[in-house]
Amino acid sequence: MSRTTVATIHLDALRANLARIRALSAGAKVMAVVKADGYGHGLERVARALADADAFGVAAIADGQRLRAAGHAQRIVVLSGPDEANDLAEMRRLRLDAVIHHPSQIEWLEADTDPRPLAVWLKLDTGMHRLGFAPEAAQAAHARLRAVGSVEDEIVLMTHFAASDEFDNGATAAQIARFNAVTAALPGPRCLANSAAILGWPAARGDWVRAGGLLYGLSVVAGTSGSELGFAPAMSLSTRLIAINPLRRGECVGYAGTWECPEDMTMGVIAIGYGDGYPRSAASGTPVLIGGERAEIIGRVSMDLITLDLRNAPSARIGDRVLLWGRGLAVEEIAGRAGTISYDLTCGMTKRVLFVED
């Protein structure tokens, strides 16, 4: 049986987005952040398209294993480092870089007699208050790491922003200033910027940038899509129209009948739902694209099906392909309707979605 719900991954978009990030980053090295299965686009597929990234950033050692198995030789940074002392051996074996953000990790390193080298990124908390050493603990943490024989000499200094998507938010300027003050006396490359900071905070460029969302054409800047920022969407999610039905004025559509026909009209049904990862929270009025025409979702999103108002798409026919997001319909718009961000949507595709590349 053929599957009708398809996530098409645009490899050319991934490559173009990386090139654009390089151009914006003024010579900084680019870490391609591919955690969460490449923001839902497929880890191996994304890494193949972005094979000339200077490093990959992952959340899990298992992702590092997959990237090494696929033949990638560049640096792979585990963004929260070892979770337990036992992780160190596997990280050394795979030559995965460790982000060290907590004293317990330094204790594991000090107690570890394994001589195989380990590259380290020291994470400082400059105001996000999630992971990282407080500014006053930075010097001592750095000195302890330098004293561990197997830790490579060059320690990258990093921090993460809490609100870099708000280009006028002074909290980011304060984080940059705090980072510069804390690291002034420390050697080593600097790494501060995530996607939004690459766009909006040139003072944060440093020696490395960490790009996630923008690689996939995704924006977290409120009210702005990736396309509007000059990045190409890397995922187009589509399915087919499987029914077209006439309804009468006053009839209600779907579970709990939350949408009532204001007139006699035509509705359509498409073969996708929250069981595929389309957000159930997308309310009536959320757009889809049918042959270039925008139609709106009416009623509740079900597990396998979504109901549409076809009054704006009179030429729609059963079997037509319907775009849920991607080229021509910004995923940010759908995310806004669903009360979430674009990352959450692309990361949420379930196993029954067929992934294809173009």
Ligand X SMILES: *Cc1c(COP(=O)(O)O)cnc(C)c1O
Provide the minimum distance between the beta carbon of 259 and ligand X in the complex, in angstroms, as a whole number.
35
Q: Which stretch binds ligand X (CB under 6 A): 194-202, 264-272, 273-281, 316-324?
A: 194-202
DSSP H helices, the chain, are: 11-24, 35-39, 43-49, 61-69, 87-94, 103-111, 138-146, 170-183, 195-200, 331-338, 342-346
**According to the binding rule CB under 6 A, does residue 213 interact with ligand X?**
yes
Catalytic one of 29, 123, 255, 274 = 255
Phi, psi dihedrals of residue 201, rounded to the nearest 5°: -130, 75
Provide the minimum distance between the beta carbon of 194 and ligand X in the complex, in angstroms, as a whole number.
4
Q: Which stretch binds ligand X (CB under 6 A): 62-70, 171-179, 190-198, 283-291?
A: 190-198
Query: CA 241, 245, 251, 256 torsion: positive or negative?
Result: negative
The yes-or-no answer on residue 35 being catalytic is: yes
First-to-last C-alpha distance (Å) of the chain: 22
DSSP H helices, 120-250, are: 138-146, 170-183, 195-200
Interface residue with ligand X, options 172, 194, 342, 346 (CB under 6 A): 194
| Cβ distance to ligand X smaller for residue 142 or 160 | 160
Q: Name the binding residues for substrate.
A: 130, 303
The yes-or-no answer on residue 278 being catalytic is: no
**According to the binding rule CB under 6 A, does residue 210 interact with ligand X?**
yes
> x/- contact string, 27-66, with ligand X (CB under 6 A)?
------x-x-------------------------------
| Cβ distance to ligand X smaller for residue 57 or 268 | 57
Phi, psi dihedrals of residue 222, rounded to the nearest 5°: -55, 135
How many whole angstroms from its chain centre is CA 311? 35
**According to the binding rule CB under 6 A, does residue 342 interact with ligand X?**
no
Tell me how far apart the alpha carbons of residues 319 and 309 are, in angstroms, rounded to a whole number: 16
Over its C-alpha atoms, the chain yields an Rg (Å, rounded) of: 23
> What does the binding site for ligand X look like in residue numbers (CB under 6 A)?
33, 35, 79, 160, 194-196, 210-213, 220
Q: Which residues are catalytic?
A: 35, 255
